[in-house]
Chain A
Amino acid sequence: MIETLLANLDTLLLYLFAACALVGAVLMLILPQPMRVALALISTMVFLGGVYGLLGVHFIAAFQVLVYVGAVMVFMVYAIMLLDVRDSAYKRTYSKLVMPGIAAGALFFAALAFGLWKALPDSAGSAATPAAGTFGLQQFAVAFLSEYWLHFELTSVLLVAAVVAALAVIKVSAASGAQSPLGTRAERKGGSDRG
């Protein structure tokens, strides 16, 4: 009993992390306060990082925790803390589109899951056990910088465009009214995301 449990520990942990990620995502829909929604999203991302680690893609797991949880969500939490808590959006959680939205989401999920079910035979995943080293950081880096170097360079162009656009947004806000603390903080954050 214990031996089979230990032999399947990877799979068990994978299913456990997947279930926890799903619970976090559902909590994001239910919780009214934005800070709790942010915490639910952070837990979902950390559990997805665990799933990536169990799949053997360790550097993606590290990027998930570093970039998503460490940069994007910290940024989001700062924005939540900057804005006023006593807001009408905090009292009424849902918009008028609750029923159409849920119906559309359910239809979307059903259509995609049905297509997936038909497209994937039952033995699709078990047949391919990737060779060790396919997912190493070295292979990834070599492929990234030799085969996909153009995409890598375009990424830096995108980041520069994002920084310039953030500065343009700040210029608009400075021109449209008196300088407020919100504007200066947004400028500082927009500039610091470059690294």
Chain B
Amino acid sequence: MDKTQVLLSLAVALFAIGLVGVIVRRNVLVMLMCMELMLNGVNLSLVTFAHQAASNVGAVLVFLVFVVAAAEIAIAIPIVLLMVRHKRTLDLSAYTDLKG
């Protein structure tokens, strides 16, 4: 196993762990953090492929993913605060009446 394979396996593992966290955990904030972990896995795969191909495109994409992550968290946390004000809990099973 060489370096590229190890790093790509790590990227896949991070993405899978983030996916399991989003499905399995109960706390809304922990689910958001698991989504960040999935974005980190994607970033690692992009950097690894850019390193392997000696190209700049991967770095540009990683930069755009950074911006999207910052925007996502800036929207998501006010929404979570709003839902917590309505339901008085972070437990996702209390939000089952959300529709649409």
Contacts and interface: CB of A to CB of B under 8 A. Distances in A.
Interface of A: 11, 14-15, 18, 21-22, 25-26, 28-29, 34, 37-38, 41, 44-45, 48, 51-52, 55-57, 59-60, 63-64, 67-68, 71-73, 75-76, 79-80, 82-83, 87-90, 92-95, 97-98, 100-102, 104-106, 108-109, 112-113, 116-117, 120, 122-126, 128, 130-131, 134-135, 139-140, 143-144, 148, 151, 155, 158-159, 161-163, 165-166, 169-170, 172-173, 176-177, 180, 182-183, 185-187, 189-190, 193
- Determine chain B's interface SS by DSSP, over half rule: helix
B66 A104 contact: no
12 contacts: A28-B17, A55-B7, A60-B47, A89-B89, A90-B90, A95-B92, A124-B5, A128-B53, A135-B56, A165-B75, A182-B84, A186-B82
B83 to A, nearest CB: 10
Contacts of A95: 23-26, 92-93
A183 B26 CA distance: 23
B79 to A, nearest CB: 6
A70 B65 CA distance: 16
A22 B67 contact: no
B25 A55 contact: no
B2 A126 contact: yes
Contacts of A126: 2-3
B27 A57 contact: no
Contacts of B23: 95, 97, 100-101, 104-105
Contacts of B82: 169, 172-173, 183, 186
A37 B30 contact: yes
Given A41-B36, A83-B29, A190 B78 contact: yes
- Determine chain A's interface SS by DSSP, over half rule: helix
Contacts of A116: 5, 8-9, 12
Contacts of A151: 60, 64
Nearest to A92: B26
A107 to B, nearest CB: 9
A108 B22 CA distance: 14
A143 to B, nearest CB: 5
Interface in B10-44: 10, 12-21, 23-30, 32-34, 36-37, 40, 43-44
A9 B26 CA distance: 41
A68 B66 contact: yes
B63 A63 contact: yes
A108 B73 contact: no
B13 A109 contact: yes
Given A63-B66, A109-B12, A166-B75, A28 B34 contact: yes
